[in-house]
């Protein structure tokens, strides 16, 4: 309903009630005139109070509309904040992934960006807390305004009730007119005025009912605002809990990254020491292989020398056998005169020594020391003197 129309209607009611009171005062006695004048003043005060109450209710309605808009803006801000908080949680979960710990540089950059974003969010949360405090203050002011308007409405209703009672008393206390014609005209006129007054009272009651319905609707909006403010009060606490959890998660991720860096440095040191050990072992293995090859070459040379010595020993034994057989023959079978040519022939019948070292031609021969083969223990070799005996 338009407030201007309500104000014009209130002024019309005031003029109507003023005319009724003036006509009633003209036909009443002196005492009745004073009572009607007082009631007229009370009615004017009630009308002025009603206008003030209407203006106060309009201001309350505008304030409630502004608070509703502020609440919608706060809801949009909280929705954006929760979206940002979800994104930060996703980044924290990615940071907790072991595969992402390999890229420590990217992790540090993401941690720095998340730290700056978290600081920005904390500042925004502080601003939201200040806005919520302002909304709470405005809400308290609205509550006081509603209480004042309710009190003014009750005062207005009491004033209207008192005015109606005063009018009824004035009608009953008014002196009767002696002239029948004047009495009839006065009765008709008073009946019309009464009907008009009743119509005005009915309109005033309708207006009061409308005001009461508006007050009830605003009270419902007030209850809705209270519930919304309660929800907004709970949001900062939940936000602080989420921020604490994010801070703890970031601290744990930083600790995990630090532990991973320490483990990586330890592994790098272990790998470097292992590589140095492997290089040293490779050098040692190469030296051992060279020594083994040299030992095998020396052993092969010793084996060849042993085989040559064995061949020389066998040839010397055969020659010694031949000489012994010639020297130790019986006298009757020995020729009277030894033929040197026969001895040379016997010696030539022996196979020639094809080794690199020729066999010495002497009668007294000592066996060389035997070189053990590969599978013979050198501590269990036979005695060369006893083994060389024919």
Lookup: tokens for 168: 């009824």
Residues contacting 363, CB < 8 A, separation 6+:
320, 323
Assess contact for 257 and 98: CB atoms under 8 A: no
Q: Judge whether 326 and 343 are in contact, CB under 8 Å.
A: yes
The pTM score is 0.27
Candidates 325, 317, 365; CA nearest to 346 is 325
* pLDDT by position in tens, the chain (length 390): 444 445 455 544 554 555 544 555 455 444 455 666 666 676 677 677 767 767 776 777 777 777 777 777 777 777 777 777 777 777 777 766 655 455 555 555 655 666 676 677 667 767 776 777 777 777 777 777 777 777 777 777 777 777 777 777 766 765 544 455 555 566 677 677 777 777 777 777 787 777 778 777 777 877 777 777 777 777 777 777 877 888 888 888 888 888 888 988 888 888 888 888 888 888 988 899 999 999 999 999 999 999 999 999 999 889 888 888 887 644 444 444 445 566 556 555 555 444 444 444 444 444 444 444 545 454 454 544 444 444
Q: Using CA atoms, how far apart are residues 118 and 243, in angstroms rounded to an integer?
A: 8
Q: Angle 104-173/180-327 helices, nearest 10 degrees?
A: 170
Q: Are 142 and 222 in contact (CB under 8 A)?
A: yes
Contacts of 35 (CB under 8 A, 6+ apart): 28, 166, 169, 170, 173
Q: Exposure string (b/e) for 133-148, b if CB count within 10 Å is 16 or more?
A: eebeebbeebeebbee
């Amino acid at each position: 309903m338009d407030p201007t129309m309500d104000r014009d209607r209130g002024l019309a009611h005031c003029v109507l009630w003023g005319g009724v009171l003036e006509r009633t005062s003209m036909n009443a006695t002196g005492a009745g005139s004073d009572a009607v004048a007082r009631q007229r003043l009370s009615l004017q005060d009630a009308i002025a109070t009603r206008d003030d109450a209407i203006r106060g209710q309009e201001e309350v309605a505008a304030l409630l509309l502004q608070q509703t808009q502020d609440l919608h803006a706060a809801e949009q801000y909280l929705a954006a904040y929760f979206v940002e908080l979800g994104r930060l949680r996703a980044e924290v979960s990615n940071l907790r992934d072991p595969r992402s710990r390999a890229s420590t540089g990217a992790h540090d950059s993401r941690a720095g960006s998340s730290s700056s974003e978290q600081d920005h969010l904390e500042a925004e949360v502080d601003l939201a807390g200040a806005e919520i405090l302002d909304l709470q203050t405005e809400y308290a002011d609205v509550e006081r305004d509603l209480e004042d308007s309710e009190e003014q409405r009750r005062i207005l209703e009491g004033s209207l009730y008192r005015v109606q009672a005063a009018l009824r008393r004035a009608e009953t206390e008014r002196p009767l007119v002696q002239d029948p014609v004047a009495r009839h005209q006065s009765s008709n006129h008073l009946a019309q005025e009464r009907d008009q007054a009743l119509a005005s009272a009915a309109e005033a009651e309708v207006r009061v009912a409308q005001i009461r319905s508006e007050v009830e609707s605003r009270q419902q909006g007030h209850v809705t605002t209270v519930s919304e403010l309660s929800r907004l009060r709970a949001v900062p606490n939940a936000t602080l809990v989420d921020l604490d959890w994010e801070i703890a998660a970031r601290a744990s991720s930083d600790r995990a990254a630090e532990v991973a860096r320490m483990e990586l440095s330890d592994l790098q040191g272990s790998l470097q020491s292992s590589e140095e050990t492997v290089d040293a072992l490779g050098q040692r293995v190469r030296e051992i292989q060279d020594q083994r090859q040299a030992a095998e070459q020396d052993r092969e040379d010793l084996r060849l020398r042993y085989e040559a010595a064995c061949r020389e020993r066998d040839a010397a034994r055969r020659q010694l056998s031949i000489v012994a057989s010639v020297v130790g023959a019986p006298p009757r079978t020995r020729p009277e005169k030894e033929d040197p040519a026969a001895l040379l022939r016997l010696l030539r019948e022996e196979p020639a020594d094809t080794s690199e070292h020729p066999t010495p031609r002497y009668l007294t021969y000592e066996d060389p020391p035997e070189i053990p083969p590969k599978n013979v223990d050198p501590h269990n070799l036979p005695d060369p003197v006893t083994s060389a005996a024919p």
